[in-house]
Amino acid sequence: MSHLDILLPFALPPVAMGPDLLRAMHTPSLAVLLARSKTSPAQTHDAFAHTLPHESWLASAFGLSQGEATDSSPPLALQAMHRRGFAPESGSWFVLNPVHIHIARDHLVLTDPRRLELSDAHSRTLFALAAPLFEEMGQQLVYGDAATWFLRADSWSDLQTATPDAACGHNIDIWMPKGPTARDWRKVQNEIQMHWHDGIVNQSREDSRLDPVNSLWLWGGSPAEPRLPLSRYTDVFNLADWRGEAVRHIDSATVTEVLAAKPDHGLLLLDTLIEPALGEDLSEWLLRINGLEPTWFAPLLQAMKEGALGSCRLILTHGSLITEHLVTRTTLRKFWQKPSLKGLLQ
């Protein structure tokens, strides 16, 4: 019988606004799934950790976790490189994202890279300016795509870094790379910022009323290894860089494709709520979670009722908490449990 874990980052609403948001939600199928599930105890997560709860959960699921440590981002660079066709055989590699850092009154704030709207042409221009500066330090910069570059920096392997989503919207001081070589990173970062400041890319972006690309975010450091971590999942859907080696995977999967795959033990990531949650855009968060009802919640509930899906586990998070709700055909028979979204209130 097929089983599907469904990871929904930021499906748990902000505590202060939770009751109001629940009243505005139109997700009856989700209400059934939550009310007729077996709920595990909630797990708290350090709000100042260098990963978000769903990132830590994924790192554990794919053998990328570092025990209970929350002081550095998961070693995801190798996974991300393999997905883009790169197979480094040696060295320590990092993910490097072009970003906009907002200058507040007395601190710096990392803005969501998803909202950068950086074109491939502009990204390649910025890359061409940055690469020689890294080469001067004996480091290799590799272009992945407009939003994602990779850096080989063997001497920086001990740096403690944070994921962009963990740092997003905060004073970046405590999320900046830490370690004996952090000063070297800051030096080249500052040089790149100066080269980009009045360049053609940011002049063009200013004309288009877009935020300047004024820095880089370093994270995901991992050593090159001959094999990627194995996964306990037989199938993964919509996980992009988060996936192990010996699994089937479908990116941008629809519910029809997920159900047609009949996963023995599948994992589905629905990450549409991350961007509005990080941007504290509650109206957009509400629109998006309501949009999941016809596209995912209702079809999955129907599949369970018809036996096409044997069981599912909802893994729900916000910035400092994670909850799990196991739904089986047996629990769905508990008709006396009235549909309710109260399981989202934590």
Find where tokens 């200058």 sit.
Answer: 103
For residue range 265-297, what is the model confidence (pLDDT) as tens digits? 999 999 999 999 999 999 999 999 999 999 999
What confidence score (pLDDT) does residue 309 get?
96
**Do the beta carbons of residue 231 and residue 245 sit within 8 Å?**
yes
Q: Please check the confidence at residue 245 and state whether its pLDDT lies above 70.
A: no
Distance between CA atoms of 273 and 270, rounded to whole angstroms?
A: 8
Binned at pLDDT 50, 70 and 90, residue 246 comes out as: low
CATH code for residues 66-223: 3.30.70
Residue 31: which H helix or E strand, with range? helix 28-35
What confidence score (pLDDT) does residue 321 get?
94
Q: What is the dihedral of CA 245, 140, 52, 124, to 10 degrees?
A: -100
Average pLDDT of the chain to the nearest whole number? 92
Please report, for the chain, the start and end positions of each structural domain, with discontinuous segments joined by +.
3-58+230-344, 66-223
What confidence score (pLDDT) does residue 226 get?
55
The percent of residues in the chain predicted with pLDDT above 90, rounded, is 77
CATH code for residues 3-58+230-344: 3.40.720.10
Q: Give the tokens for residue 220.
A: 């995901």
The distance from CA 104 to its chain's CA centroid, rounded to whole angstroms, is 25
Distance between CA atoms of 285 and 301, rounded to whole angstroms?
A: 22
Q: Please check the confidence at residue 227 and state whether its pLDDT lies above 80.
A: no
Average pLDDT over residues 3-29: 95
Binned at pLDDT 50, 70 and 90, residue 322 comes out as: very high
For residue range 201-218, what is the model confidence (pLDDT) as tens digits? 999 999 999 999 999 999
Listed in sequence order, the residues at least 6 apart from 261 whose beta carbon sits closer than 8 Å to its beta carbon are: 235, 237, 248, 250
For residue range 37-92, what is the model confidence (pLDDT) as tens digits? 999 999 998 888 999 999 999 988 888 875 545 578 999 998 899 889 998 889 99
Q: Please check the confidence at residue 229 and state whether its pLDDT lies above 70.
A: no
Buried b (16+ CB within 10 A) or exposed e, 11-37: bbbeeeebeebbeebebebbbbbbbbb
